[in-house]
Structure 1
């Protein structure tokens, strides 16, 4: 929604309010997920809830804007990883970054796990771009003989979520970097040559009816 205040000071205030709302929303969904109220976001941003609605129209539009920003960051990471000289390094780096992004933001993890599909056309485009990037990273690693042949790009995406619930088990605490160890162990498991053939048809892309 455009800012309507024609005065220079008004425009500066509107830009500042927008930045504060986006920053507050990122922090809120990181710790609490998408089930956060407009009032809580506005309070954290130091503005009135009316300002939130004037700037974004709805809370959902604000959430969508923030999630798109997180997806754009992942798309940038994927592009950097595809330019790595070693295809395995590129794949491993992206898998670690995706896992970390999901752990850092509960809201992002909720969106990436939603099987009902993206909530907007823009998010659908980013989702497709990230799927394509992972498929290409997987193809490059296969071509280099670094990734076991029976591992698909869909496997890569599913494996990246493994650390989301990897903090405690039977009295064992993983520690602050335990999730990284999980990804490193999994990376060794998918690296060529594989020892135990994978069973089942493997994960598939969900197509809502």
Structure 2
């Protein structure tokens, strides 16, 4: 019996690849992008040489995993755009984005990085997520649910508010406290708004 997978790759090589991807997702979720190739390989139960054979470099493996996380968010956004109620769709996506930031320290690091130009693949997915949030925002605004002075950029920035909501001055928010914070922020964006927003608001930084 052949030990080749459907793509002609040995079954054990495919298994090693899957293990490396899972181990990398777990590693960057807990520790961010500053993980070593040895740590990833050890967690995957393979040698470092296997990592390099399957992906070439540690950076290529990290990029592959991060792009996968972005793709999951893009898929979630498209589902939210199909929701009948525009406000429900917007809230659902913001919760997905906020939860993704909470679940993966590495993803949160990448979405906040502006010091160097993103790869073409990452730039494409970033644009797709921005476009999805623009459409979600406009749907909610046209339906009369969203304040006229709240922009999609405001909402994007607010999605990161879940990252530092665990403890403050002896108060413990609990494991799901971040959801309350996001809900309160979103309710503050609902029409009609009562307080005029100061300043020009957040802007998209040009790539490069």
TM-score range, shorter chain: over 0.9
Given that 1:29 and 1:36 are in contact with CA atoms closer than 8 Å, whether structure 2 keeps it comes out as: yes
Let me know the Cα RMSD of the aligned residues.
Answer: 1.4
TM-score normalised by L of structure 2: 0.95
After TM superposition, list the pairs within 5 Å mapping 1:105-116 onto structure 2.
105-116=104-115
Query: Measured at CA, do residues 129 and 29 of structure 1 come closer, stay the same or move farther in structure 2, by a change above 3 Å?
Result: same
Are residue 132 (structure 1) and residue 128 (structure 2) matched?
Answer: no
* Number of aligned residue pairs: 204
Q: Which digits, 9 at most, give the CA deviation of each residue in 1:153-183, with x for residues without a partner? A: 0001000001101111010000011000000
Shift of 1:208: 4.0
Partner of 1:160: 159
Query: Measured at CA, do residues 156 and 170 of structure 1 come closer, stay the same or move farther in structure 2, by a change above 3 Å?
Result: same
Q: Once structures 1 and 2 are overlaid, which stretch shifts more, 51-60 or 109-118?
A: 109-118
Unaligned runs of 5+ in 2: none
TM-score normalised by L of structure 1: 0.95
Secondary structure of the residue aligned to 2:202 is coil
Partner of 1:197: 196
Unaligned runs of 5+ in 1: 1-5
CA distance in 1, matches of 2:172, 2:43: 32
Shift of 1:117: 5.1
Shift of 1:116: 2.9
Shift of 1:119: 3.4
